[in-house]
Copies of this chain bind each other. A is one copy, B any other.
């Protein structure tokens, strides 16, 4: 293992080349698609570094996603991963209990809930599917399950590598039975929204260390490890546990190319990032981040928060008034392993150091 010369050319020393070769990347490092926190700038830098750049589309219109892909295709000759949410929006219920819980903050800041709530964030749909058919990404990854068969079959027909997140062995089997080309094993450590989509006791979330080998044993397609991986040690360890590639999120959030604000950036490097929590107060679905005032006072899990994606509606003005106390500060459990560094050199360094650890 390791980079070595063979017949006069340098051969990359990754042991499991299934995803590397299929995707056409140098290193088995995938930028985690962090909706709202990154755009094509980070994807381009990771691609230049030899990893797989991802564009999160969950908060984008199809046109905005198309623009980002176009910028990336113009900037770098490299594959791209487009990521989509596959949630099902329940009917919008009465969020009066949630507004009542937030009333003291409304009073404090002189704001309120919006009179007309915004349209809920849309899951992967016909328009997004048309975008996939049009731009033909090398990989399409799904969160919160998979789209309906009719849409999924159209995605498959483009020849893209189809993958989705699993937070349990049962979810990994479910995805494999539906023919995905790879499974993202997302451990408890991961920042942002858990991709959990099958009913299960919240007390049963599995850590990356236990999840990756059990998923690798349970299914025949390659496994992408996610959650808690923020340096070369994590990459090497994940590959030894049975992963074919890793997905890295928080470590890229600290790069200058990310879109997060200075407060979030500062928090990621602070001791507060050592004790991230799993909370539903920002969107209604459990997601991991640094605890701020809203989490401490209403969460981390509030029975009053309406179901995803509606919990965020009543927070909009509070978040504008005080993003430190009412905005989400997503972070995975390994945030403090991150070093602020350009995403291109970071990707190269991670690959080089991981290969060295693996005996290269």
Contacts and interface: CB of A to CB of B under 8 A. Distances in A.
Contacts of A306: none
Contacts of A100: none
Given A213-B234, A334-B213, A359-B1, A275 B207 contact: no
Nearest to A288: B203
Contacts of A301: 203
Interface in A223-281: 227-229, 231, 233-234, 236-238, 240-242, 274-279
Contact of A233 (B228, B240, B274, B336): B240
B210 A332 contact: yes
Given A168-B274, A188-B188, A203-B278, A337 B209 contact: no
A170 interface: yes
A307 interface: no
A274 B169 contact: yes
A200 interface: yes
Contact of A274 (B170, B234, B276, B336): B170
Contacts of A276: 204
Interface string A317-346: 000000000000000111011000000000
Contact of A201 (B234, B240, B300): B300
Contact of A228 (B204, B207, B229, B275): B207
B234 A334 contact: no
> Most chain-B Cβ atoms within 10 A of its Cβ — which of A209, A213, A233, A301?
A209
B274 A214 contact: yes
A189 interface: yes
Contacts of A236: 237, 240
Copies in the complex: 2
A54 interface: no
Nearest to A250: B210
A209 to B, nearest CB: 4
Contacts of A208: 207-210
Of listed A234, A242, A300, residue having the most chain B CB within 10 A: A234
B209 A234 contact: yes
Interface in A90-109: none
A229 B240 CA distance: 12
Interface centre among A170, A242, A277 (most CB of B within 10 A): A277
Most buried by B among A200, A208, A337, A358: A208
17 contacts: A168-B275, A187-B207, A188-B188, A201-B275, A203-B278, A203-B299, A204-B275, A207-B209, A207-B227, A207-B333, A208-B209, A209-B209, A209-B227, A209-B234, A233-B240, A237-B241, A240-B240
Closest 8 CB pairs of A and B: A207-B207, A210-B333, A359-B359, A209-B228, A203-B277, A210-B228, A237-B237, A208-B209
